Structure 1
Amino acid sequence: MNGDDELSLLSWMYGHDHDDPVPAPRLGQGYVELSGGPLDGSLLDVTSWTEDEIATGAVLMTVLGQTGPDGQARYAARPGDPGRWDWSGDAV
């Protein structure tokens, strides 16, 4: 296991409940790592997403954004590294 693998196992899983009995990545699931912004370092499960949805990116709910508890943050695939999504700003 390299450093990136260890980091992924310790990362927060976006969209999982705080009391999830298995709060770590699950075998057979597809994840992207969120980079920058309020969800930096979180993993997002994209297992059931289509290729178009993954290419489009997402606006994700967050309590950490500039607009407070009802914030939304935009993330999109990093060019050349589809396993990492970069923050492009908060949605208003």
Structure 2
Amino acid sequence: MPNKLSDLRQQYGDSVELVTDDGSSLTFRILAELTVQGSQYAILQSESMKQEDEIEVFKIVADDNGEAQLETVTDAEEWELVEEAYDDSQFGNDDQP
């Protein structure tokens, strides 16, 4: 059975719209998808976050139909581990000072 979570962009395109706690929606650009310690994550960034050079980390999980869904990462250690893996993937090359 193929893994439907391997490419979030296949399901959503280059951006995803999420509903916030207050019921409004916010569009995030999908910057990257990573596998860290066996779990899959998405690195997202809204337009306002881009100005502040901030990112958001979400865990990619499958719903009952096998479709990719995003879960907020609330554990600080998990969040930092994924952020570090993202940074390494971005700067772990010749661009690193």
TM-score (norm 1): 0.32
Q: Which one has the bigger helix percentage?
A: 2
Greater gyration radius? 2
TM-score (norm 2): 0.31
